[in-house]
Structure formats: structure tokens, C-alpha cells
Structure 1
Amino acid sequence: MWQKKDIVNEFQRLGKRITKQRMVILDVILEQNWTDCKEVYYEAVQRDSTVGLSTVYRTIRMLEEMGVLKRVYQYVFTDETGVRADGENEVIAPEFHGKNGLRQTEKEKEKCCSFSAS
């Protein structure tokens, strides 16, 4: 499991800027109280109103490229009445992320992202 100081060191090694917004986003992710990108954004913006949704997505993509996070998808199928049927599960989540349930719904098929630490 990656520690904050290791991630910051990797940012520096790769020549990535260590901004206040990225540090807020990283803190939110490491606290493991989220299930998808928007939840990371909502929590981060409460801590720092200058954090933008695109900054969250870019930071998460960087963390994926570094191997800190991996993307996992979850698919749920429903019948014509909306009742859930058996489906396949995949989720995006950091290893330090314990939540991996569904958080969004669509009628036919749902696909949602979460994170898992590598």
C-alpha cells in the first residue's frame, strides 16, 4: 500500500507539480471515505473551494499511471421491470479503499467507477 510521502516522492521523481489542490485530493483518497470520482470531488471542494472536477480526474489519472490506483468497473443488469439480475462485478479502487458497491443506476446496464490501491 502506498503512503502519502511515497506518492509525493513519485510526483517529484516524475516532474509533476505538487499543488495544494492535488494534496487535498490525495488526502481525501487516502482517507478511503469515497466510492467514485465525484465523491472525491465533493469532499475535496469542501476542504478547498479552488479544487475543480477536472483537477480531480487528472490527479486520479496520474495516480492510475503511477500504479497507486487501478480502475475497476461494476456492471449490474436489470430486467424490463428494473429488478436487478445476476451480473458481473468489477470496480476501480485503491487497495486502501474498502467500499466497492454500486452508487449509480441506469435501467438496462450500469457501469460505475471506484478506485482500488495497487
Structure 2
Amino acid sequence: MWQKKDIVNEFQRLGKRITKQRMVILDVILEQNWTDCKEVYYEAVQRDSTVGLSTVYRTIRMLEEMGVLKRVYQYVFTDETGVRADGENEVIAPEFHGKNGLRQIEKEKEKCCSVSAS
């Protein structure tokens, strides 16, 4: 698992600027796993109102290129009503479920991220 100081060192090695906004985003990401870049943004902007959504996307893309984050796509089976077939009670976009009950939950490219133990 990457530590904050290792990530900062890698930023420096790659010639990337270490801004206050990037440090806030990094803190948010390292505190827990996030499934959506907008969730990271909403948390980061509460801590520092100068953090922009594009900064979050760029920082996450950079962390992904460094191997700190890994993009994840999730697929779940649903029945014809859109309820998860694995027994969970979560309804997943019932108006978009597939013909065979397979519903692809594909986040936008930059939205899916989870901390990788690379």
C-alpha cells in the first residue's frame, strides 16, 4: 500500500507540482476507498474550497498512471425489476436493465477508482 510520503516523492521524481489542492485530494483518497471521482471532489471541496473538479480528475489520472490507483468496472446481475440478483436490496437503474437481467454498471472513465496495493 502506498504511503503519502512515497506518493509525494514520486510526484517530485516525475517533476509534478505538489500543490495544496493535490495534497487535499491525496488525503481524501488515502482515508478511504472511493468509487467515484465526484465523491472525492465533494469531500475535498469541503476541506478546501479552491479544489476544482478538473483538478480531481487530473490528480486521479496521474495517480492511476503512477500505479497508486486502479480503475475498476463493476458488473452485477439483476432480475427483470432491476433488483440485484445476489440478494442485496439495492435497486440498480431498473429502467436500464438488460434483456437477460445483466446490468452493466460502468462509470465514466475517470470516475472509477479505488486504492491499489501495487
Normalization by structure 1: what TM-score?
0.71
Q: Render the CA deviation track for 1:84-112: whole Å, top value 9, x for unaligned.
A: 23599999999999999999979999996
Structure 1 residues 10 and 89, CA gap change in structure 2 (3 angstroms): farther
Q: Render the CA deviation track for 1:31-51: whole Å, top value 9, x for unaligned.
A: 116332121111100000111
Of the two, which has the highest radius of gyration? Answer: 2
CA distance in 1, matches of 2:96, 2:30: 7
SS in 2 for 1:117: coil
CA RMSD across the alignment:
9.2
1:91 corresponds to? 91
Q: What is the CA distance between 1:117 and its match in structure 2?
A: 3.9
Deviates more, 1:103-112 or 1:26-35: 103-112
CA distance in 1, matches of 2:102, 2:47: 25
CA distance in 2, matches of 1:104, 1:63: 25
Q: What is the CA distance between 1:77 and its match in structure 2?
A: 2.8
Normalization by structure 2: what TM-score?
0.71
Q: Is the 8 A contact 2:36 2:111 kept in 1?
A: no
2:50 corresponds to? 50
Q: Does 1:110 align with 2:110?
A: yes
Structure 1 residues 116 and 62, CA gap change in structure 2 (3 angstroms): same
Q: What is the CA distance between 1:76 and its match in structure 2?
A: 1.5
Equivalent pairs: percent with the same residue? 98
Q: Render the CA deviation track for 1:49-104: whole Å, top value 9, x for unaligned.
A: 11111111110110010011111111113232122235999999999999999999
Deviates more, 1:75-84 or 1:54-63: 75-84
Q: Is the 8 A contact 2:80 2:97 kept in 1?
A: no
Structure 1 residues 74 and 105, CA gap change in structure 2 (3 angstroms): closer
Structure 1 residues not aligned, in runs of 5+: none
SS in 2 for 1:104: strand
Q: Render the CA deviation track for 1:13-40: whole Å, top value 9, x for unaligned.
A: 1011111110000011111163321211
Structure 1 residues 14 and 112, CA gap change in structure 2 (3 angstroms): closer
Paired residues, what number?
A: 118
